[in-house]
Amino acid sequence: MEKTIPILPCRTIQPVLDFYTALGFEVTFLQKSPNPYAVVERGGIQLHFFGMKQYEPAESYSTCSIHSDDVDGLHEVFRASLKAAYGRVPTRGLPRIGPLKDTSHGMRQFLVTDPGGNCLRIGQQTSQDQHHRPAPKETFSRALHHASLLADSKEDPAGAAKIIDRVLCIEDERPTPVQLLRLLVLRADVAGRLGDEEAARSALARAGAVHLTTEERESVPDDLERLKELGG
């Protein structure tokens, strides 16, 4: 039986170990010299780390994919653990945890980025087709599709903000209430990641004023939960 284990870089080992310990991982190996190296484990997840003095966490592209059969439960546990450890849920900078979302490639996932800049893509398969779905042709659905990809797959909140701002300025078309809510919640989310508190407050206020029917509310539980979280 084969097993793949990611070996991820970090500048210093201890802050990374503290982070994963807060998430409920156990440090099962630690070597301080001659080369810093450590292993953390939680259930079926095992991650290895090595130290690099010249490493820059903010510029990291290191990532790995973790599959779970209860991604909603894991997201809830991780958020609660981080809030207990940091006094808040870190959603920008390093470390951070992202929102739980259904992707366009048949996964329900969230991203966690540790103090070393390593991104864990934690997801649960929701479809046998793992290819990205084609972008919708309808104006606002298409904008939401591309903005979501930029915000959560490419981690480009500025690019996502530009798409949303541009589509919401269209005068001869109007989004449905559900589309408007989803666009505004994502706009508030990326504004927060960019440190633009004024834009975040404005988008949250507009999102909170969108009237949805009971049926419409039932169709966007993740967005409504995110609206609640962002509103504090």
Token pair of 173 as six digits: 């078309």
Task: Give the confidence band of 189 by pLDDT, cuts at 50, 70, 90.
Answer: very high
Average pLDDT over residues 81-104: 91
pLDDT tens sequence across 32-59: 999 999 999 999 999 999 999 999 999 9
Q: Per DSSP, what are the bridge partners of residue 204?
A: none
Task: Give the confidence band of 187 by pLDDT, cuts at 50, 70, 90.
Answer: very high
The pLDDT of residue 7? 97
Q: What is the dihedral of CA 225, 227, 228, 229, to 10 degrees?
A: 90
Average pLDDT over residues 191-212: 95
The pLDDT of residue 105? 84
Task: Give the confidence band of 148 by pLDDT, cuts at 50, 70, 90.
Answer: very high
Distance CA 101, CA 224 (A): 12
Report the mean per-residue pLDDT for the chain.
94
Q: Is the pLDDT of residue 120 over 90?
A: yes
- Answer left, alpha or beta for residue 155, where phi above 0 means left and psi between -120 and 50 means alpha: left
Greater confidence (101 vs 40) lies with: 40
Q: Is the pLDDT of residue 203 over 90?
A: yes
Other Cβ atoms closer than 10 A to 23: 20
Q: Is the pLDDT of residue 134 over 80?
A: yes
Task: Give the confidence band of 91 by pLDDT, cuts at 50, 70, 90.
Answer: confident
Greater confidence (130 vs 198) lies with: 198
Greater confidence (198 vs 1) lies with: 198
Distance CA 98, CA 92 (A): 8
Task: Give the confidence band of 92 by pLDDT, cuts at 50, 70, 90.
Answer: confident
Token pair of 117 as six digits: 């800049």
